Structure 1
Amino acid sequence: MELSDLRSFVDVAERLNIRRAAMAAGVRPSTLSRRIARIEGELGVSVFERHASGVRLTRAGRDFFDTASNAIRDLEFGLRRARAASKGASGNLQIGIFASIASGFSYAAIRLFRSQYPGVEIDVTEGEPNVLLRGIRERKLDVAFVTGDCDLRDLDCETLWWEAVALALAKDHPAAHAERLQWSELRDERFIVSLQEPGPEIHDWLVARLGGLGERTRIVRYAVARETLFVLVGLGFGLSVVSRAGVGVAYPNVVFRPVGDPDDILPFSVAWSPDRDNPVLRRFLSVMRAMASGQPPPPVD
């Protein structure tokens, strides 16, 4: 049974007049009559009774009308969803994160994308960078936010934003009331980092900044997650650093202060697979690139 036949049947059933249904559909009445005849031939029953002013549904016609109208509605809904998915206006986006998205560029990007594409279902997975990158390779994730200027042979990677660094210290630390701190003022301090990602990267970053301040500066590593590390900061175990996006998260007895020069910034990148054929991913990357360049986001089709 042709879809055009079903549409014609529903049009006539809704108007109970072949001529008016033909005018609304832009076809000749004889065309609708032939389509109705084909349906009755396939069903083996009459769906309409003819009379002088039009037609009326038979009992079999009323039953078939419910089935046909529901089928057409479901089909049209499916077509709309498929077209929206092909344009990136609906579908799923799997994002991997390991740093805080409580504020900053990544928070703003996800917020803007959700406002522009409310039909997209976004899933967020948190993990260490190597786990997130493996998730992209295994097609479990579409995109991941990572620190640094990444150079990956099998994945596409693009540095899109930079964030200033903040110093995390206990509220009762003598330097907690300073508006901004310099690295030279921290030569006698004890820094703590995590052994988990991105702890090793932060350790190397701190060594580069503190290396010239003398041997009294210590960096101690703990086998704890990020949240526990900042709890230890609040307990007075030492100082640590976080990107400005992480300042949006509150920890017991911890304050954050700007540190270093304005050039003390961390690059952040997005990584994805060039083989990932997901229109939603392309839309998301376009929104992030527009934000990074200071341009208006691309229009929604």
Structure 2
Amino acid sequence: MPDVLLDLRFLKYAILASEQSSIRRASELLGVSQSTVTRRIQILERKIGFRIFERSSQGVKVTPAGSRFLQDAKVSSDKLHEVASCVKLDGALLWEIKLGISSSLSQGVIPELISRFRSLRPNAILEIHEGDESQNIRGVMSGHLDLAFVSGRPEVAGCGTYTISEEPLYIALPITHPLASRERLEWNEIKGETYLIGRNGRGEAATDLLTRKLSEFGFRPTFQFHNVGRENLINLVRLGMGVVPTGQSTTGIEYPDIAFVRVGDGNEKLPLSAMWSNINTNPLLRGFVSTLKQTCIR
């Protein structure tokens, strides 16, 4: 009996390579080696008896036969993907959706979205995965996640995105810092700080914003990157190693000896977006995207 899930995975690799016109780019998005993608596509080609791609130094190009095959395969695999998204509990079929997060759920639009969706789909199973943004993007591209919340406004081929919020920038400071008692800071007042960036949260969007704004004053910000999560990043602030740029949603968490101070006049914001794969056929995903668009009206 053929391994249906294995064949589906091979199909996913081929479909993504065709959308990216590059096996290298597909491997980066999937988080696997380029040789793994190449080998699995070759196995798929041997199974079906013809080439899906023409390969050259410029990348890969889908053959006419390969184009027809991938179009038919997408339609045929849709139903199998739907079945794979469904679980059985006490004899009843329940749908499941997997969401990737990298920021706090203490307050803000994400917990509001989850709460509203659960009220609309009380029998749906929501599985939350916390990881860094690169992991979540790879999870969406590989199908391990149905949707991820990521900073900025990413543009990834084969994916849909929607900006769900724009938060003002805050700086996490030790309470002993001279600026910790202020309600709001001007950009030129934070030019000499060392900014700590972790693997989770709004790091990429924050570094872009800080670099752009401080360059207007002729300064280049100093960033230190640490492979730690949010809690230990705040602990580094407490140890006096620097400050942490973050969004307003993080300020809902109380950290001992830490102050959150707003930066700027509020016109510069940190965007937060939802991202999903356009070939994901989980019915709950369509419902969740519809809910977030209704909740987060631009």
Q: TM-score, normalised by structure 1?
A: 0.63
CA shift in 2, pair 1:156/1:166, >3 Å: same
2:279 counterpart SS class: coil
Higher mean displacement: 206-215 or 90-99:
206-215
CA shift in 2, pair 1:213/1:238, >3 Å: farther
Aligned equivalents of 1:186, 1:218: Cα separation in 2: 11
Q: Which amino acid aligns with 1:142?
A: D
Q: Which amino acid aligns with 1:92?
A: E
Aligned equivalents of 2:199, 2:113: Cα separation in 1: 29
Matched, 1:255 2:272: no
Matched, 1:286 2:284: no
Matched, 1:189 2:193: yes
Maintained 8 Å contact 1:231/1:251: no
Aligned equivalents of 2:222, 2:276: Cα separation in 1: 37
* Poorly superposed stretches of 4+, deviation over 4 Å: 195-198, 214-217
Match of 1:33 in 2: none
Match of 1:26 in 2: none
Match of 1:136 in 2: 140
Query: 1:242: how far off?
Result: 0.5
2:158 counterpart SS class: coil
CA shift in 2, pair 1:210/1:237, >3 Å: same
Aligned equivalents of 1:217, 1:283: Cα separation in 2: 42
Query: 1:94: how far off?
Result: 0.4
1:220 counterpart SS class: strand
Larger Rg: 1
Query: 1:200: how far off?
Result: 4.7
Query: 1:189: how far off?
Result: 2.9
Maintained 8 Å contact 2:101/2:150: yes
| Structure 2: segments with no counterpart, 5+ residues | 1-89
Maintained 8 Å contact 2:133/2:199: no
Q: In structure 1, which of residues 125, 132, 141 is the aligned counterpart of residue 129 of structure 2?
A: 125
Aligned equivalents of 2:163, 2:184: Cα separation in 1: 27
Matched, 1:153 2:150: no
Q: In structure 2, which of residues 112, 115, 119 is the aligned counterpart of residue 111 of structure 1?
A: 115
Q: In structure 2, which of residues 182, 202, 207 is the aligned counterpart of residue 203 of structure 1?
A: 207
Q: In structure 1, which of residues 211, 225, 228 is the aligned counterpart of residue 229 of structure 2?
A: 225
Q: Which amino acid aligns with 1:170?
A: P
CA shift in 2, pair 1:215/1:141, >3 Å: closer
Percentage of identical aligned residues: 32
2:129 counterpart SS class: strand
Query: 1:193: how far off?
Result: 2.3
User: 1:203-228 CA deviation, whole Å, 9 max, x = no partner?
Assistant: 33321122233558533333433321
Q: Which amino acid aligns with 2:124?
A: V
| Structure 1: segments with no counterpart, 5+ residues | 1-76, 83-89, 295-301
Matched, 1:174 2:178: yes
Aligned equivalents of 2:222, 2:274: Cα separation in 1: 32
User: 1:91-120 CA deviation, whole Å, 9 max, x = no partner?
Assistant: 111001112222101111111112222211
Match of 2:241 in 1: 237
| Number of matched pairs | 209
1:293 counterpart SS class: coil
